[in-house]
Amino acid sequence: MRAVVYRGPYDVEVAKKKDPAIEHPADAILQVTRAAICGSDLHLLHGLVPDTRVGSTFGHEFTGIVEEVGPAVRALKKGDRVVVPFNIACGACFYCSRNLTACCENSNPNSDVVGGCFGYSHTTGGYDGGQAQYVRVPYADVGPMKIPDDMEDEQVLFLSDILPTGYQAAEMGEIKGGEVVVVFGAGPVGLFTAKSAWLLGAGRVIVVDHVEYRLDFARRYAGVETVNFKKVDDIVMYLKEICGGRGPDVCVDAVGMEAEGSTPHRLLGLKLKMEAGAATVIGWCIDTVRKGGNVSIIGVYGPPWNFVPVGTAMNKGLTLRMNQCNVKRYMPHLLKHIREGRIDAKAIITHRFPLRQAKEAYRIFSDKRDGCVKCVLLPQA
Amino acid sequence: MTLQERGVDLPPERRPGVPMEKTPPRPLAHGEHSLPPVSSSLLPPRGVSGILRRKAYRVPGHRPAHWMMLLLADRIEVMEFKLRRLLRWLLLPAAALFLLRVVRR
């Protein structure tokens, strides 16, 4: 088969690779029909995630058609169309049975930090991802959700990650009705966080970024106010000022480890590797949110540590919530929102490429060129 | 989304992640029995980077040394890969040259 293959930092190519095979009785093999490039794939591409091995295939947002199932698989059969959560989860361990599938203890037995994920380095289990013609899906009875016959793959593709991730980010903000919510990051996750904040009852939603076309998109797509942090003197003071002096009730970090906006963080985190990426946005969230407010962190950070103002968080009495998204528990609920027209997830796709042009797709997405919000690869084209 | 639809998920019981942990615990599949752990057999450690990776996994994840060794191994592996690719490229013309000489003799 052909697959996107990692060759080193800033270097991927499309190459021939051995077809995946059933390795465990509960595995399935999918023929991939759509595979998106996620903002967090860029952290892998940029060499920031430990144990990203040369030869690995990225891609944790995909849909596909079941090609083959292992002898223990009951819920799927050949020909089923499915969308697959990025978490690999056994469905029965201590965590899965509490619906914390991101923390599954059977899908990444080498680690007690994180469960298994598709295409996200050997730190999360070393499974190949879906940016390929075929992919192996472990625990196939647990994660994959059948796509309703009347729906297209692209309508539900983002149930695999960014839509539930955005929803969970807003949900962790513990919105009770009427709150002011600031979302840092106008990328795909930030957009879905903003949409979800409205669904959860926010009174005002403000999205912060520095990429003007993405802020335009956020205004149109999510009906939010926007702020370009490069156009104000001090983003923390500015946000406090426009939020009645105290600051917003909820701040969400939908950016993660490659944030712009702080030279010291970029130097220490991205150049010198003295912290796990630039934790600029966590600092902004803690400094901006009102006392007693909530900070929700959904942006990805690597181990082992980051420089964040914990003392300020403690003194302000903040609640900090964070987790990889437990995708499975959100799928049916968000499918309903898509079906009933409250969320048009497909509308954020700005670019589609055949798999053979994946290198170009990564370049455009990474450089934020050509008005790119979301890239989708077509592995069978 | 219409203005009326804003706040449709305001009641906590409509929120899939509230409460965060489902109690009592309930398996998502396979009935009550669990399946054995899964793993990936792809890209096993090899070369100098592989030695370092094996060493790293003997150190627990809460120690920075674990992650530093892995990051170092990542960089070494890229160098190993580039060296292998270079050697492969050099090997082809060398073999062709050798064959040409043999034929000429």
Residue of chain B minimizing CA distance to A205? B6
CB contacts < 8 Å between A and B, how many? 177
Q: Which amino acid appears at position A3 of this protein?
A: A
Long-range contacts of A217-221 (CB under 8 A, 24+ apart): A217/A186, A217/A191, A217/A348, A217/A371, A217/A373, A218/A186, A218/A190, A218/A191, A218/A194, A221/A191, A221/A195, A221/A347, A221/A348
The answer to whether residue B77 neighbours chain A at the CB level (below 8 Å) is yes
The series of mean pLDDT values per 10 residues for chain A, 381 residues long, is 97 97 96 98 96 98 98 96 97 94 94 94 97 98 97 98 98 97 98 98 98 98 98 98 97 97 95 92 98 97 92 98 97 97 97 98 97 97 86
Give the integer Cα–Cα distance in Å for A329 and A331: 6
Do residue A145 and residue A180 come from a single domain?
no
Do residue A356 and residue A300 come from a single domain?
no
* Cβ proximity of A88 and A114 under 8 Å: no
With CB atoms and an 8 Å threshold, state whether B7 touches A198.
yes
Query: Locate tokens 């029965």: which residue?
Result: A92
Which pLDDT belongs to residue B31?
Answer: 55
Residue of chain B minimizing CA distance to A113? B61
Do residue A290 and residue A348 come from a single domain?
no
Q: What is the CA radius of gyration of chain A?
A: 20
**Would you give the DSSP letter of residue A345?**
G
Instruction: Spell out where A330-373 has E strands.
Output: 351-354
Give the integer Cα–Cα distance in Å for A31 and A139: 16
Do residue A188 and residue A112 come from a single domain?
no
Which pLDDT belongs to residue A89?
Answer: 96
Instruction: Residue A282: give the domain boundaries.
Output: 162-322
| E strand or H helix at B50 | helix B47-56
Which pLDDT belongs to residue B32?
Answer: 54
pLDDT in tens, A147-191: 999 999 999 999 999 999 999 999 999 999 999 999 999 999 999
* Cβ proximity of A113 and A65 under 8 Å: no
B28 part of a folded domain: no
Q: How many CA atoms lie within 13 A of A289 on its CB side?
A: 34
Do residue A56 and residue A166 come from a single domain?
no
A62 part of a folded domain: yes
* Cβ proximity of A253 and A185 under 8 Å: yes
CATH code for position A241: 3.40.50.720
Which pLDDT belongs to residue B30?
Answer: 60
Which pLDDT belongs to residue A58?
Answer: 98
Where on the phi/psi map is residue A194: left (φ > 0), alpha (ψ -120 to 50), or beta? alpha
Residues on chain B touching A56 (C-beta within 8 angstroms): 42-43
Which pLDDT belongs to residue A216?
Answer: 98
Which pLDDT belongs to residue A282?
Answer: 98
With CB atoms and an 8 Å threshold, state whether B67 touches A304.
yes
Closest listed residue to residue A251, CA positions, set A288, A219, A218: A288
Closest partner residue to A51 among B26, B36, B74, by Cβ?
A: B74
Do residue A166 and residue A142 come from a single domain?
no
Instruction: Residue B76: give the domain boundaries.
Output: 45-105
Three-state SS sequence of A78-129:
CCCEEEECCEECCCCCCCHHHCCHHHCCCCCCCCCCCCEEECCCHHHCCECC
Do residue A119 and residue A50 come from a single domain?
yes
The answer to whether residue B102 neighbours chain A at the CB level (below 8 Å) is no
Instruction: Kindly report the nearest CA distance between residue A237 and chain B, in angstroms.
Output: 29
Instruction: Kindly report the nearest CA distance between residue A148 and chain B, in angstroms.
Output: 20
Do residue A15 and residue A90 come from a single domain?
yes
Instruction: Kindly report the nearest CA distance between residue A42 and chain B, in angstroms.
Output: 16
B91 part of a folded domain: yes
Do residue A11 and residue A148 come from a single domain?
yes
* Cβ proximity of A257 and A277 under 8 Å: yes
Give the integer Cα–Cα distance in Å for A96 and A74: 19
Q: How many residues does chain A have?
A: 381
A332 part of a folded domain: no
Do residue A202 and residue A271 come from a single domain?
yes
**Would you give the DSSP letter of residue A258?**
B
A203 part of a folded domain: yes
With CB atoms and an 8 Å threshold, state whether A330 touches B16.
yes
Three-state SS sequence of A166-216:
HHHHHHHCCCCCCCEEEEECCCHHHHHHHHHHHHCCCCEEEEEECCHHHHH
CATH code for position A45: 3.90.180.10
The two structure tokens encoding residue A273:
């590797």
Closest partner residue to A54 among B28, B34, B78, by Cβ?
A: B78
The two structure tokens encoding residue A317:
């009495």
Q: Best mutation site among B34, B38, B48, B84 for testing chain A: the one with the most A CBs within 10 Å? A: B38
Closest listed residue to residue A191, CA positions, set A375, A376, A374, A377: A374
Q: Which amino acid appears at position B63 of this protein?
A: R
| E strand or H helix at A29 | strand A28-37
**B3 in helix, strand or coil?**
helix
Please name the residues between 226 and 285 in chain A that touch chain B, using a CB distance below 8 Å: 273, 276
Q: What is the largest CA-CA distance in chain A?
A: 61
Please name the residues between 316 and 335 in chain A that touch chain B, using a CB distance below 8 Å: 326, 328-330, 332-333
The series of mean pLDDT values per 10 residues for chain B, 105 residues long, is 85 95 83 78 96 96 93 97 92 89 88
Q: Angle CA(A42)–CA(A47)–CA(A49) in degrees, nearest 5?
A: 85
Give the integer Cα–Cα distance in Å for A53 and B17: 34
Give the integer Cα–Cα distance in Å for A53 and A71: 30
CB-based contacts of A319, cutoff 8 Å, min separation 6:
A174, A293, A294, A295
The two structure tokens encoding residue A271:
């150049």
The total of other beta-carbon atoms located within 10 Å of residue B30's CB is 17
Do residue A125 and residue A100 come from a single domain?
yes
Give the integer Cα–Cα distance in Å for B42 and A58: 13
Helix A162-172 vs helix A188-199: crossing angle, to nearest 10: 50
Query: Locate tokens 């879906």: which residue?
Result: A130
Closest listed residue to residue A85, CA positions, set B11, B16, B47: B16
Q: How many domains does chain B fold into?
A: 1
Which pLDDT belongs to residue A14?
Answer: 98
Q: How many domains does chain A fold into?
A: 2
A334 part of a folded domain: no
* Cβ proximity of A2 and A344 under 8 Å: no
Do residue A139 and residue A185 come from a single domain?
no
